């Protein structure tokens, strides 16, 4: 497992600021725009700690 830093405390895959998901999906936040910084991206793997995993 890679050491992928994640500071989204509400995500159930976050454990001590490290993503524990077996895979991740990152997509652009902005369509038809050149990505230039991390704010232009979004982690589609996010799952709220309150959700039950299937």
pLDDT at 2 over 90: no
Write the burial class of residue 42 (CB in 10 Å: 0-12 exposed, 13-18 middle, 19+ buried): middle
Q: How confident is the model at residue 53 (pLDDT cuts 50, 70, 90)?
A: low
Torsion 42-38-31-27 (CA) sign: negative
Torsion 8-24-44-41 (CA) sign: positive
Residue pLDDT, tens place only, 25-41: 988 887 777 888 888 88
Report percent pLDDT > 90 for the chain.
Answer: 43
Which 3-state string (H, E, C) describes the chain?
CCCCECCCCCECCEECCEECCCCCCEEECCCCCCCCCHHHEEECCCCECCCCCC
């Amino acid at each position: 497992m890679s050491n992928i830093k994640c500071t989204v405390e509400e995500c159930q895959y976050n454990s001590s600021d490290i993503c524990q998901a077996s895979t991740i999906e990152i997509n652009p936040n902005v369509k038809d725009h050149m990505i230039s910084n991390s704010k232009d991206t979004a982690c589609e793997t996010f799952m709220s700690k309150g959700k039950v995993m299937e």
